[in-house]
Amino acid sequence: MNGYLKIILATFLFSISPPIVKVISLDAISIIWAMNLTGVLVLTIRAIVHGRSKEVFDFKGNFGVVLLLGITTTINNVFFLTAVKTTTIANAMLTHYLNPIFVILFGYILLREKVTKSTILALVMSLSGLAIMMLPNELTFSNAHFLGIMLGTGSAVFLGLEVVFKKMLSKRMPSDIVVLQYLTVPVILLLPFVSYKNLFSLDPAGIFGIIFIGTALIAGGITLFISGLKQVKAQKAGVLSYIEPLGAILWGLLILKEWLSLETIIGGLLILLGTYLVIKK
């Protein structure tokens, strides 16, 4: 499968998580921990079944990068979810999706990726599209929302690093083993903060949601994304991440029958045009 297609499919798959997360009656950190643990268990069982159990503990000299990836992932998730709680969804989304700017920056510094004009143009178009899509929502930059905006921007910085570290590992190790190893880090780091009482009293819908996201999105989607990074520059993968908010709106249309506003249509078209600029030869 083409690398661009893998990343687009993985990103579109990630976009289904918001409506599923809404039915899980747990705090954000417990949800992150449970989903990551599920993904790690699924990938570990898969490795054992396929006779690859030795690979689970084989870092191939990349322990430091795997550890950094796990830490940046944890910080990114905590910052973003805290931003959602302290400011408007629009503020959190818009600042979080500044991440391609940092992917381009860190990709240039750490990977020596050449920045192309088409990538910059695609980034501007996609970010503009997202901003237009957010217009009907409560987008505000008042002092009361300053902390949330800073946290959202911080999550973008760490997500940028996350994509670059994934790119580093994509050609050094099997994609599924990368996911298994680095997600073990947040599983360990978040252990003291998990609400075990609520976790063990979770209703069937919540249990299904965690299993589905942990299996399909974490184990499957992230593995597919890293596999795609083997063939795609980190900066281009960063721009393609704008498919996720567009996908969330499409899922809302299909599942929740939410009406598409004019701003959503215009913004979505700009994101699609930006995507085209990234993948065209």
Q: Dump pLDDT digits (tens) for 92-143.
A: 777 888 888 899 999 999 999 888 888 898 888 888 888 887 776 665 666 6
Q: Which residue has the tokens 């009656």?
A: 25
Higher pLDDT pick, 211 / 24: 211
Higher pLDDT pick, 257 / 24: 24
* Residue 118, number of CB atoms within 10 A of its CB: 14
N- to C-terminal Cα separation, the chain: 16
The dihedral over CA atoms of 196, 201, 205, 208, expressed in degrees to the nearest 10, equals 50
pLDDT at position 256 is 63
Per-residue pLDDT, averaged over 58-75, amounts to 95
* Domain span holding position 167: 3-279
Backbone angles phi, psi at 24, to 5 degrees: -95, 110
CA distances from 191 to 40, 56, 198, 215, 251 (A): 14, 21, 14, 20, 32
Across all residues in the chain, what is the average pLDDT?
A: 87
pLDDT at position 136 is 65
pLDDT at position 281 is 54
Q: How many domains does the structure of the chain reveal?
A: 1
Residue 96: exposure state from Cβ atoms within 10 A (0-12, 13-18, ≥19): buried
